């Protein structure tokens, strides 16, 4: 069974996220919403050879083939384990490629994780009501800062995640996390 978490609704997302974070027995709780095991059995190099990069992984620590994410519909926010294991949203674009920016699932208020609401096109933090735009900008506080972002690259069938150290494209300033 595969453990990528396409988030379709706020309530579903919370359950999926809990599974992701706790490593709960996924088969027992979310079998109907998770992908089929072994859908893409493609060898992926363990080391990327790219400085600072790690491979996007599933909840079990297995690298995720790019084809697996890209098989999802445009607009999908797929939750994967990113840098230092941080839950990170990868975004499938309209042209069925991955966005070069990933969104870290960690509210800048007090660190809650949050779902993507595809109807409202917002990330909605359940803890104190912060709302974020698709790019992670704050729509409504109390979140004081935009969401942390990371670089995403696809090489062959591997998904690489790298720290974002350049100017924050949303603010035009140095990233707050650097």
Number of residues that bind ligand FES (CB under 6 A): 12
In which residue are the tokens 């990113």 written? 82
Residue 75 interacts with ligand FES (CB under 6 A)? no
- Interface positions, 44-73, toward ligand FES (CB under 6 A): none
User: Taking the complex as a whole, how short is the minimal distance between the CB of residue 100 and ligand FES, in angstroms?
Assistant: 25
Candidate segments 41-49, 107-115, 156-164, 170-178, binder of ligand FES by CB under 6 A: 107-115
| Structure-token pair, residue 108 | 């800048």
> Counting contacts by CB under 6 A, is residue 17 touching ligand FES?
no
Contact status: 142 vs ligand FES (CB under 6 A): yes
The three-state DSSP-derived secondary structure of the chain is: CCCCEECCCHHHHHHHHHHHHHCCCHHHHHCCCCCCCCCCCCCCCCCCCCCCCEECECCCCCECEHHHHHCCCCCCEEEEECHHHCEEEEEECCCCCECCEEEECCCCCCCCCCCEECCCCEEECCCCCCEECCCCCEEECCCCCCCCEEEEEEECCEEEEEECCCCECCCCECCCCC
Give min distance, CB of 72 to ligand FES, in A.
Answer: 26
User: Does 109 sit near ligand FES (CB under 6 A)?
Assistant: yes
110 lines the binding site for ligand FES (CB under 6 A): yes
140 binds ligand FES (CB under 6 A): no
List 53, 59, 107, 162, residue binding ligand FES (CB under 6 A): 107
Choose, by CB under 6 A, the member of 34, 56, 91, 143 that binds ligand FES: 143
Q: Which of 1, 24, 67, 127 binds ligand FES (CB under 6 A)?
A: 127
Neighbours of 128 (CB within 10 A): 12
Chain residues binding ligand FES by CB under 6 A are 107, 109-112, 125, 127-130, 142-143
């Amino acid at each position: 069974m595969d453990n990528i978490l396409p988030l379709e609704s706020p309530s579903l997302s919370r359950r999926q996220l809990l599974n992701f974070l706790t490593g709960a027995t996924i088969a027992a709780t979310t079998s109907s919403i998770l992908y089929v095991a072994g859908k893409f059995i493609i060898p992926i190099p363990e080391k990327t050879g790219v400085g600072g990069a790690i491979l996007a992984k599933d909840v079990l620590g297995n690298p995720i083939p790019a084809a697996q994410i890209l098989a999802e519909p445009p607009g999908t926010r797929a939750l994967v384990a990113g840098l230092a294991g941080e839950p990170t949203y990868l975004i499938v674009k309209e042209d069925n490629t991955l966005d070069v920016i990933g969104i870290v699932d960690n509210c800048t208020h007090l660190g809650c994780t949050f779902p993507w609401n595809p109807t409202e096109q917002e990330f909605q933090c359940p803890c104190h009501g912060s709302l974020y735009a698709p790019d992670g900008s704050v729509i409504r506080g109390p979140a004081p800062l935009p969401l942390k972002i990371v670089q995403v690259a696809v090489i062959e069938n591997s998904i690489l995640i790298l720290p974002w150290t350049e100017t924050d494209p949303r603010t035009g300033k140095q990233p707050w996390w650097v």
